[in-house]
Structure 1
């Protein structure tokens, strides 16, 4: 089977276990260089995926009910988060935006097919039109949207499979909270020496680091695609 077929079969196989979870199955998906960089520096865009990998990303979007990015990705890339390169349904666009910095001119605010859901810890969203749904949730200790509360709400709204594309702070937050279930990683054959896709997880012990098991890989064009389930080691209390 091709990488596209293998990954679709692998993702679909998880759907039978969703009803007992009471939160969406979360897939992290992003592209990086061989040295782990996603861009040259924070706030800049660097297209790393090849043509075939881009089509895979759009295929992955079609396999999920919702797609989530952080406000930094919106401000930097102004994405559409659609399946333009693949035949399928567009997922529900969702933005994590604790301080409600979402620009009303963003392309996600202009979508005719789906209203964009903006998850925030603030209450004022009066400047947005009918194409944006502002959803206020409790904040965590750092004032960011509480991810567990966000996932519980998304479950209630019918999101069973959620794809998280970034950016780095969002990817890191899902890993630190142990709320990411799977990873699809595109590795481009280049060295960047820039801004990493995963930040500090605050883990000092190797046994407690997230692991990908089982791990699958296949070439797709010039890129290496790696995917698998994320497993977490529970912290042992002394």
Structure 2
């Protein structure tokens, strides 16, 4: 069975367990170097993964209702978040943007078939009134980050039953800290970068409390290593 079919079968099976949940099924998907870096220390993005790995990324997009990134990724990479290297529908693009810094000229503001959703904090006013986006304000909880629990409930109410989270590092880390990510698909490129890590401090002091990937699957994909599996937290580790 091809790795593409393995990934699809696994995801379809996992998503069925969330049919009656009050939030989407959430998959973390990102590429990193062998030392865990996703960008240089200066935040510059490099093309880390190969063509086959990129096809997996686009396949994953087609298997989710929504795709989410943080505003820093929008500003630094200006991604399209569309399905171009695989057959399937484009997921709903979603941006976490606590200070409403969404650039009017971003590619996501001219998405081919969907208006980008921007999730921000309750007290933020938009200066980007001409952008082709929809803004959703989430009640604050005292932090400088959009509250993920409330944001995920909102997305479920908006018929986002499955969500792919592509980054950046702060976003990936916050989902893991909140115990909200249910699955992970990680591409490991063979290079060493010594840059900014994909996962930051999860503020855990016990090894038994760390997020665990189980079962974990791995497949060599050209020069890359593809790892995927279910995420478990705390007492639910198995």
TM range (shorter): over 0.9
Displaced runs of 4 or more, over 6 A: none
Secondary structure in 2 matching 1:140: coil
| Post-superposition CA distance 1:146-187 (Å, at most 9, x none) | 000000000000000100000000000000000000000000
Map 1:97-116 to 2 at 5 A.
97-116=97-116
Q: Which stretch has the larger CA shift, 123-132 or 165-174?
A: 123-132
Distance 1:15 1:201 in 2: 25
Say whether the 8 Å CA contact 2:103–2:128 is kept in structure 1: no
Secondary structure in 2 matching 1:175: helix
Match for residue 219 of structure 2? 218
Distance 2:194 2:202 in 1: 20
Aligned-residue offset at 1:2 = 1.3
Distance 2:180 2:234 in 1: 13
Say whether the 8 Å CA contact 1:69–1:95 is kept in structure 2: yes
Match for residue 31 of structure 2? 31
Match for residue 48 of structure 2? 48
Distance 1:191 1:126 in 2: 40
Q: Name the Cα RMSD after superposition.
A: 1.3
Q: Which stretch has the larger CA shift, 107-116 or 176-185?
A: 107-116
Count of aligned positions:
235
Aligned-residue offset at 1:234 = 4.2
Where does structure 2 lack aligned partners over 5 or more consecutive residues?
A: none
| Post-superposition CA distance 1:53-107 (Å, at most 9, x none) | 0011000000000000000100000000001111110000000000001101100
TM-score, normalised to structure 2, is: 0.95
Where does structure 1 lack aligned partners over 5 or more consecutive residues?
A: none
Aligned-residue offset at 1:125 = 2.3
Aligned-residue offset at 1:130 = 6.0
Q: Which stretch has the larger CA shift, 157-166 or 104-113?
A: 104-113
TM-score, normalised to structure 1, is: 0.95
Aligned-residue offset at 1:20 = 2.2
Aligned-residue offset at 1:15 = 2.5
